[in-house]
């Protein structure tokens, strides 16, 4: 795979044997640094494959962008083989990985570390220096030491896994710039290979609102997830809730929102969320703002959604009033 070059220098066996203590110390320091680095901006590529008895799965590459200003806010956005986003603003988490989006309350702030991107286990059992290499990042070429580390892991009801990771570690900052992880075990001759290479690692980023923007197309609905514990449709004041035989309404046609001059002049962008009750004829009623942007855009979002038409929610084959549902109105400047 492009981005995983062969080492420029391979050390002799005697030199490697003498370097084991250094290699293990460097590996442990790099893992600890990844765990404690919670302010950063990073971009890169990951790809994985899994083989075993009757199994040969090769994933499409995933391109990721991540930013963390823990505990205030975090954001990760994937493209390629995984189209997902996860944003935390300190009070709320928004994430998407399918046709809808999800929201959850966040208590205790937002947390993300470099280790969340790298997925390297603690406590390697051994490590060896096998060479030296270079990695091209956005800010230039970085020298690194190639360390091969070994892990023996007991997981999944006592099943033993063995992992061998080859990591390119920049010793000056104890940063893992690239790795290839090979894991065997778990029965069925299971063998996994995971690769990661960073193209950007910025430990002193200039933060902007765009780095942490959660963006879904206008008209995307919040997915409320499985509604457990309901065996029959539930209505309050004649309005039905999603679940237990009540289907989601769908946006049939929509009007894009218009910017206010204030928001356009101030270059304001953001996601407004509007709560709606959809009538049996598909008209939106009882509109309320549940996530605001300000600068007059919340009112413009209401004006736009009021002109939308929905396919109504259904219960027992009949259209029924359904709500409240939450729809996204995305304000983006060209």
Provide the pLDDT for residue 14. 46
Under 8 Å between Cβ of 185 and 162: yes
Condensed to tens digits (0 to 9), the pLDDT of residues 69-80 reads: 988 999 999 999
Provide the pLDDT for residue 232. 66
Say if residue 186 is in the same domain as residue 241. no
The two tokens of residue 280 are: 């049996």
236 burial via Cβ count (<10 Å: 0-12, 13-18, 19+): exposed
Under 8 Å between Cβ of 190 and 184: yes
The two tokens of residue 59 are: 């994933």
Q: Is the pLDDT of residue 81 over 60?
A: yes
Say if residue 45 is in the same domain as residue 186. yes
The two tokens of residue 213 are: 């923007």
Q: Is residue 309 part of a domain?
A: yes
Q: Is residue 209 part of a domain?
A: no
Q: Is residue 173 part of a domain?
A: yes
Rounded to whole angstroms, the Cα distance separating 201 from 254 reads 40
Say if residue 236 is in the same domain as residue 277. yes
Condensed to tens digits (0 to 9), the pLDDT of residues 24-59 reads: 999 999 999 999 999 999 999 999 998 887 788 888
Say how many Å lie between the first and final Cα of the chain, rounded: 35
Say if residue 190 is in the same domain as residue 227. no
Say if residue 65 is in the same domain as residue 120. yes
Q: Is residue 208 part of a domain?
A: no
DSSP state, residue 332: -
Condensed to tens digits (0 to 9), the pLDDT of residues 273-317 reads: 999 999 999 999 999 999 999 999 999 999 999 999 999 999 999
Say if residue 174 is in the same domain as residue 223. no
The domain that contains 304 carries what CATH number? Answer: 3.30.2420.10
Q: Is residue 72 part of a domain?
A: yes
Read off φ and ψ for residue 246, nearest 5 degrees: -110, 120
The rounded radius of gyration (Å) of the Cα atoms in the chain is 25
Say if residue 197 is in the same domain as residue 257. no
Provide the pLDDT for residue 257. 94
Q: Which residues contact 86 (CB under 8 A, 6 or more apart)?
A: 74, 75, 76, 77, 93, 94, 95
Say if residue 147 is in the same domain as residue 226. no
Q: How far is CA 72 from CA 49, 84, 87, 110, 170, in A?
A: 35, 21, 11, 6, 28
Q: Is the pLDDT of residue 17 over 50?
A: no
Q: Which residue in 172, 24, 43, 17 sits closest to 114, CA to CA? A: 43
Under 8 Å between Cβ of 296 and 265: no
Q: Cis before residue 192, ω within 30 degrees of 0?
A: no
63 burial via Cβ count (<10 Å: 0-12, 13-18, 19+): middle
Mean pLDDT of the chain: 88
DSSP state, residue 246: B
Number of domain units in the chain:
2
Q: Is residue 54 part of a domain?
A: yes
Number of CB atoms found within 10 A of residue 171's CB: 15
The domain that contains 119 carries what CATH number? Answer: 2.50.20
Q: How far is CA 251 from CA 46, 273, 310, in A?
A: 35, 15, 4
Rounded to whole angstroms, the Cα distance separating 304 from 287 reads 11
Condensed to tens digits (0 to 9), the pLDDT of residues 204-259 reads: 998 887 788 888 889 999 987 665 555 667 778 889 998 888 999 999 999 999 99
Say if residue 297 is in the same domain as residue 222. yes
Q: Which of 114-118, 235-239, 268-272 has the lowest mean pLDDT?
A: 235-239
Would you state the torsion angle of the CA atoms of residues 323, 101, 41, 213, taken in this order, to the nearest 10 degrees?
Answer: -50
- Give one DSSP letter per residue of 191-241, joined into a string: EEEEEEEEEEEESS----GGGG-----TTPBBP----TT-SS--EETTEEP
Rounded to whole angstroms, the Cα distance separating 294 from 46 reads 37
Q: Would the pTM count as exceeding 0.85? A: no
Rounded to whole angstroms, the Cα distance separating 200 from 196 reads 12
The whole domain housing 49 covers 9-202
The H or E element that residue 142 is part of is strand 140-155
């Amino acid at each position: 795979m492009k981005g995983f070059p062969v080492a420029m220098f391979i050390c002799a066996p005697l030199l490697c044997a003498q370097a084991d203590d250094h290699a293990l110390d460097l590996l442990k320091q790099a893992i600890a640094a990844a765990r404690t680095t919670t302010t950063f901006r990073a971009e890169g590529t990951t790809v994985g494959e899994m083989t075993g008895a009757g199994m040969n799965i090769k994933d499409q590459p995933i391109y990721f962008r991540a930013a963390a200003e823990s505990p205030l806010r975090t954001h990760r956005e994937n493209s390629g083989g995984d189209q997902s986003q996860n944003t935390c603003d300190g009070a709320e988490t928004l994430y998407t990985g399918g046709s809808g989006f999800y929201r959850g309350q966040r208590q205790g702030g937002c947390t993300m570390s470099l280790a969340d991107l790298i997925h390297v286990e603690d406590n390697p059992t051994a490590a060896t220096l096998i060479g030296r290499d270079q990695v091209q990042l956005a800010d230039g070429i970085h020298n690194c030491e190639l360390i091969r580390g070994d892990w023996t892991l007991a997981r999944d009801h006592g099943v033993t896994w063995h992992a061998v990771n080859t990591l390119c570690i920049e010793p000056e900052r104890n940063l893992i710039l690239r790795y290839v992880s090979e894991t065997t075990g778990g029965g069925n001759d299971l063998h996994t290979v995971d690769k990661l290479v960073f193209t950007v690692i910025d430990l002193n980023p200039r933060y902007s609102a765009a780095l942490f923007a959660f963006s879904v197309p206008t008209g995307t609905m919040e997915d409320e997830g499985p509604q457990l514990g309901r065996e029959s449709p539930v209505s309050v004041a004649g309005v039905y809730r999603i679940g237990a035989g009540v289907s989601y309404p769908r946006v049939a046609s929509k009007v894009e929102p218009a910017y206010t001059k204030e928001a356009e002049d101030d270059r304001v962008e953001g996601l407004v969320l509007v709560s709606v009750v959809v009538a049996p004829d598909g008209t939106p009623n009882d509109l309320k703002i549940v996530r605001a942007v300000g600068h007059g855009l919340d009112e413009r979002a209401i004006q736009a959604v009021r002109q939308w038409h929905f396919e109504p929610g259904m219960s027992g084959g009949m259209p029924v009033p359904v709500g409240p549902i939450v729809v996204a109105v995305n304000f983006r400047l060209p």
